[in-house]
């Protein structure tokens, strides 16, 4: 009687190669995850820096008087804030001031009444911080500067 005894010692070359191929695919997947997670972290970090920069400029501006030149109607650049250094990841920072008026026939504050007295004492400021991530990005902060408060 002929008995076939299957050899169960170790792996065949084919088995070892299949195992290595599966391992390689797994490592590639982990590597892809690692790369996208690193990108995500960098993006979040840049956004955080942009937010903190905007906040800092906002604080600096609001501490100035209503009549200060930083609140003159029109466009302004960060150079007007002497000594303010932008972090390396920030491209530009600027703000635009619009003087509300009680004679421009516009309901500037959107309260339903056009050109009432209080529209004359407010400046509308749009602060923009730009930076480059995968593409150019910007962050905007809008605020009002009142002569009264």
Nearer to Ca ion, 36 or 113 (CB): 113
Nearer to Ca ion, 101 or 138 (CB): 101
Shortest Å, Cβ 84 to Ca ion: 32
Nearer to Ca ion, 58 or 124 (CB): 124
Shortest Å, Cβ 96 to Ca ion: 18
Which among 49, 93, 58 has a CA at the least distance from the CA of 75? 93
Shortest Å, Cβ 116 to Ca ion: 5
* 91 to 77, 83, 84, 135, 146: CA distances (angstroms): 12, 17, 14, 12, 29
Shortest Å, Cβ 77 to Ca ion: 27
Chain residues binding Ca ion by CB under 5 A are: 101, 104, 106-109, 111, 113, 115, 118-119
Nearer to Ca ion, 49 or 122 (CB): 122
Nearer to Ca ion, 55 or 116 (CB): 116
Shortest Å, Cβ 122 to Ca ion: 9
Torsion angle of the four alpha carbons 81, 86, 92, 96, in this order, in degrees rounded to the nearest 10? -30
DSSP class of residue 110 equals -
Spatial separation of the C-alpha atoms in residues 88 and 52, rounded to whole Å: 13
Q: How does 6-44 read in b/e, with b if 16+ C-beta sit within 10 Å?
A: eeeeeeeeeeeeeeeeeeeeeeeeeeeeeeeeeeeeeee
């Amino acid at each position: 009687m002929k008995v076939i005894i299957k050899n169960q010692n170790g792996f065949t070359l084919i088995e070892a190669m299949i195992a290595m191929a599966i391992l390689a695919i797994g490592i590639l997947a982990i590597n892809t995850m690692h790369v996208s997670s690193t990108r995500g972290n960098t993006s979040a970090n840049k956004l955080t820096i942009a937010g903190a920069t905007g906040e800092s400029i906002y604080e600096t501006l609001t501490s100035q008087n209503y009549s200060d030149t930083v609140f003159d109607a029109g466009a302004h650049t960060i150079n007007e804030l002497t000594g303010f250094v932008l972090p390396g990841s920030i491209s530009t920072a600027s703000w635009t001031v619009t003087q509300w008026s009680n004679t421009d026939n516009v309901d500037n504050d959107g309260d339903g009444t056009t050109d009432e007295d209080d529209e004359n004492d407010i400046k509308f400021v749009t602060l923009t911080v730009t930076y480059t991530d995968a593409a150019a990005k910007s962050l905007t902060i809008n605020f009002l500067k009142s002569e009264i408060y």
